[in-house]
Structure 1
Amino acid sequence: MKLFNEYGISFEYPDDWELTKEVNEKNGEIQISVSGTDSSFWMISLFLVDIPAEELLKKSLEVFQEEYDDLDVYDAKVRLAGKECSGYDIEFVCSELINSAFLRALKTSLFTAFILYQGTDQDLQDTLKDLEAISLSLDIFDNEFDGYLDIV
């Protein structure tokens, strides 16, 4: 397992997965994603602007609803990084394949975090355990990193 430890967060991900990160100074967003060799990926976006977690979830769900005709949406309540977290589990059809997406959002004192992991149901048979392990390994260093997130 590899360890990502920047921007006040850390998580572990499989050795053979690729990590990418983007910093958008204009809208105050940092996006880190890891992906395997198939359709599966895990992504976290850190929003440094004051945006409620519920609003992020609602907007994300609306994007899925606009993109895909037939969605099955299930409310989800989980714990991530020791915090209660709201979210949705979504099933949809894309390119004639059944896909699942897992949306999570939580507010910290430094940022609002949005987590999305997704894949085709066929690929998720092998990767869902990895995606969930990444989520479970997520740690957020709330107040310890004051000023650490200055991206300008």
Structure 2
Amino acid sequence: MKLFNEYGISFEYPDDWELAKQVDEEHGEIQISVSSEESSFWLISLYMVDIPPEELLNRSLEVFREEYEEVDVYKTDVKLAGKTCLARDLEFVCSELINSAFLRVFETDLFTAFVLYQGTDQELAKTRKDLEAISASLDVFDSGYEGYLDIV
């Protein structure tokens, strides 16, 4: 397992997964993703601007509904990094394959976090445990974090 530890967050991810990060200073967003060799991926977006979690979740659901003809949405109760999340599990068809996506949104003293992980159901039979392990390893550092000024 590899460790990502920047921007007030940390998480572990599989050695053979690829990490990418993107910083959009103009819009106050940092995006970090890890992806498998196939199509499964795990993504966290950190929003340094004031955006209510409900709004972020609703915007994300709208994007899925606009992109896919039929999206089944299931409300679920989840905690990540000790924070209660607004959470939805989605099922939709893409390229004739059933896909699942897992949306999680929570707030910290520093940012609003949006976590998305997804894959085809066939692939998730192999990768879901990795995706859930990444989520379970997620840790966030609130305003007491030593590098606070580096990320705001």
What TM-score do you get using the length of structure 2 for normalisation?
0.97
SS at match of 1:49: coil
How far is 1:54 from its partner? 1.1
Determine which of 137, 148, 151 is the counterpart of 1:149: 151
- Among all aligned residue pairs of Structure 1 and Structure 2, give the percentage whose two residues are the same amino acid: 69
1:148: how far off?
A: 2.6
Amino acid at match of 1:74: Y
Separation of aligned partners in 2, 1:98 and 1:109:
37
Question: Corresponding residue for 2:71?
Answer: 71
CA-CA distance at 1:77 after TM superposition: 1.4
Q: Which residue pairs with 1:122 in the alignment?
A: 122
2:2 aligned partner? 2
For residues 88-126 of structure 1, the C-alpha deviation after alignment (integer angstroms, 9 at most, x for no partner) is 100000000000000000011100000000000010000
In structure 1, the residue matched to 2:113 is: 113
Partner of 1:39: helix, strand, or coil? coil
Q: Which residue of 2 aligns with 1:31?
A: 31
Q: Does 1:95 align with 2:66?
A: no
For 1:20 and 1:144, locate their aligned partners in 2 and report how far apart those are by CA, in whole Å. 27
Structure 1 unaligned segments of length 5 or more: list them. none
- Alignment TM-score, normalising by the size of structure 1: 0.97
4+ residue stretches of structure 1 with deviation over 3 A? none
Q: CA deviation at 1:87?
A: 1.1
Equivalent position amino acid for 1:4 in 2: F
1:11 and 2:35 equivalent? no
CA distance in 1 between counterparts of 2:114 and 2:150 reads: 19
What is the deviation of 1:144?
2.2
Provide Cα deviations, 1:34-83, integer angstroms capped at 9, x if missing partner. 00101100000000000011110000000000111111100011010011
CA displacement at 1:3 relative to structure 2: 0.3
Taking only aligned residues, the RMSD between alpha carbons, in angstroms, comes to 0.7
Give the 3-state SS of the residue equivalent to 1:132 in structure 2.
helix
2:139 matched to which residue of 1?
139
Question: How many Å separate the matches in 1 of 2:125 and 2:5?
Answer: 28
